[in-house]
Chains A and B, each alone.
Chain A
Amino acid sequence: MNEVLIYALVTLAMLGTVLAVILYFVAQKFKVIEDPRIDAVDEALPKANCGGCGYPGCRNFAEVSVKSADEHKNLDGLNCPVGGNDVMKQVAAILGLEVAEKDPMIAVVRCNGSKANSPAKLQYDGPSTCAFAQNLFAGEGGCPHGCLGLGDCVVSCDFDALHMDPETGLPVVNDKCVACGACVKACPRGIIEMRLKGRKDKRIYVCCINEEKGGPAKKNCVVACIGCSKCFKVCPHDAIVMNNNLAYIDDEKCKLCRKCVEECPTNSIHELNFPPRKPKAEPAEAASVKEKSVGAGVETATEAKNNQSEPLA
């Protein structure tokens, strides 16, 4: 009985030793030497694995950064939007490089077709995904470019930065936004854009992407851009371009002078986080309207403003 036990133990011990020796040599032979800087860079990254940098996960971004540092001696084209400049500086320090500061970005919802501004003409009761509704029809309000309000962007956001406002039926971006760009990809209509966060969070943008002519655009939504070019003419910095009946403000050229905001006849240009305007000799009504949009949190200059019903320009 004892003999059997001893044989078994000895055999197992010998087997273990032999295999351990083999494994040791195999491990030496096939050793993977990984750059320790990859681990260091990975450690510095926010580990959100959001894909905002364009690479599948933080680890891959770290690998690509190290590779870029070795091959090109720079980090051009690599940016972690979640970590921002701080993280990129750390990454650059690990790799012994300098990195240019990037202006932070934020997601901007370019549609103000709220329930009040673009009233529903029909009811949709299908599955609540914008991707499907986009194939099916133009939208409850009838605008073929407007927000469908079914929240594909909200589902796509990993940072809790987008929410549906039940009152307007539009998504609202809060300051948790890290500009990863998931919502931009998720929106089937391309309404969400990444724009510069702006000096002191001040931003001016055209809150509409409707490319129809003025008449049809305004038929479905009172705050649509009608392509009248008034803002284009008034802009002293050449920051506004007109394309397909739609104004677009270049955020790099815009100097935040707010002249276009005053000029827009449909109030489709929004200003965010500006101090209240001093009441000028303007018509009282228009001034009061503008005050409403001032300082309205981080995003969307609220709704309303539909009390203006002047003829089309």
Chain B
Amino acid sequence: MKSLKTFALGGVHPDENKFSEHAAIEVLPLPKLAIVPLGQNLGASSKPIVKKGDEVKVGQLIAVGEAFISANLHAPVSGKVTKVDDAVDSSGYKRPAVFIDVVDDTWDDNIDRSPEINRNIIMTRPEIIQRIKDCGIVGLGGATFPTHVKLMIPDGKKASHLIINGVECEPYLTSDHRLMLEKGEEILIGIKILMKALDVDKAIIGIENNKADAIRHLQELAADHPNIQVYALKVKYPQGGEKQLIKAAVNREVPSGKLPIEVGCVVSNVGTAFAVYEAVQKNKPLIERVVTVTGKSVRKPSNFMVRIGTPISELIEAAQGLPEDTGKVINGGPMMGKALTSIEAPVTKGSSGILIMKQEESKRQSTKSCIRCSKCTEVCPMGLEPYLLAKTAKLNLLERAEKEKVMDCMECGSCQYTCPSQLPLLDYLRLGKQRVGQLIRTRK
């Protein structure tokens, strides 16, 4: 058998623990109060256009993205705006948000809520991009980069491939997997819309081989679309990284510090493709997403279709509550996610999963000295030397860190996962990235 495609450098294979892969997506009941943070996307925060006391319908625009890299926000629920004020986010810091008291579930009249699948793509390229912008679609893989900006290809560049990311390489998470199984046809239409918007004639869906049912399902659906190919990829973390996926799918390498368009590729998540379908064909803004709630001791690992702004505590309640031995609740997967400081923080456009870790597995083990085994260098998918970068960050040797390409680190955490001395390599890399980023900005 021909060996499966994958990326070349590094990578690890943590335990998959996909407990919720057979749990069909359930629609979560509406929350009583929705807290919609204004800074949900990469780039500038949105500017609120509603005020205290306003009545809003589901899908109504409540904040506009004015900067080049920013996105619109829509009311995920219908009701009354109680305040536009600071809310404690998942890190414990206060960030501005719109608070909406839920009254009922009245939708904006322009949204097509019929269950039929609309297969005719009648919009033109600029219309599609404008609609995606209006509907506030951002990349749902986790980086939350505004999709309309990604589709506006800079002059002089040309995309040859659209790569759809169905890899879901993070352990535990299954939201993309379920979406591919349940909304496969819509995703394919979304891909065709994206292809039209980018003016490309080739699309590749990359899925890791541990989701055989999703691969089969999409291959069957894509059989009558010769332009769309479904690739089964070897299971290896972090294949879902943009640059890794491009390497795996089309064997091209994105140069350091450059975007995928440099090698003629645009990468989008399957969730984004689905959101694009809903926006373009149904005029439905991005107001809900699939979130996995999982963990070793969670009674009912589930996948929920959740409105943005729902408190995370309600999702945990729907998965039959917080287990007694909970040590940490993580927003995202175990490799890249961040621990929540409070479960009252809301679901945002970038939340793909809630992972509940047991007390004993959540504790960090005591660290020992670096033994120069070079395992971190071996597994780094970007070809960096994490032990060195961590040291330079610790000693504040920023020029050296920059020279050693600390900014290429994508914070996948493979180094820290593999370190036999349990050194907090990723933490120091993040610190180094932040400081070097500041240094670069001050030069401008």
Contacts and interface: CB of A to CB of B under 8 A. Distances in A.
B403 interface: no
Contacts of A132: 427-428, 430-431
B94 interface: yes
Contact of A137 (B341, B363, B364, B428): B341
B92 interface: yes
B93 interface: yes
Contact of B338 (A121, A129, A136, A142): A136
B430 A135 contact: yes
B19 to A, nearest CB: 25
Interface residues of B, number: 17
B293 to A, nearest CB: 20
Contacts of A122: 341
Contacts of B434: 135
A132 B338 CA distance: 13
A142 B431 contact: no
Contacts of B92: 137-139, 142, 144
Interface string A103-128: 00000000000000000011001110
Contacts of B424: 126-127
Nearest to B94: A144
B91 interface: yes
Nearest to A136: B91
Interface residues of A, number: 17
A212 B94 contact: yes
Interface string B407-444: 00000000000000000100110110011000000000
Interface in B57-99: 88, 91-94
Contacts of B341: 121-122, 137-138, 142
Interface string B355-368: 00000000110000
Contacts of B428: 127, 132
Given A136-B91, A138-B92, A142-B92, A125 B430 contact: no
A243 to B, nearest CB: 18
A190 B442 CA distance: 19
A142 B88 CA distance: 10
B94 A126 contact: no
A44 interface: no
Contacts of A144: 92-94
A126 B364 contact: yes
Contacts of A78: none
B92, B94, B363: most-surrounded residue (chain A CB, <10 A): B92
A138 B364 contact: no
A216 B87 CA distance: 11
A130 B98 CA distance: 31
A151 to B, nearest CB: 14
B308 to A, nearest CB: 22
Given A135-B430, A135-B434, A142-B92, A125 B338 contact: no
B427 A138 contact: no
A87 interface: no
A182 interface: no
A131 interface: yes
A122 to B, nearest CB: 6
A122 B424 CA distance: 19
A126 B431 CA distance: 12
Nearest to B341: A137
B93 A138 contact: yes
A126 B434 CA distance: 17
A180 to B, nearest CB: 17
B92 to A, nearest CB: 3
Contacts of A131: 431, 435
Nearest to A212: B94
A127 B424 CA distance: 7
Contact of B427 (A127, A212, A216): A127
A191 B62 CA distance: 37
Contacts of B431: 129, 131-132, 135
A125 B88 CA distance: 21
Contacts of B91: 136-138
A121, A127, A142: most-surrounded residue (chain B CB, <10 A): A127
A142 B92 CA distance: 6
Contacts of B88: 138
7 contacts: A125-B363, A132-B427, A132-B431, A142-B92, A144-B93, A144-B94, A212-B94
Pick the 6 closest A-B CB pairs, nearest first. Answer: A138-B92, A127-B424, A132-B431, A137-B91, A137-B92, A125-B364
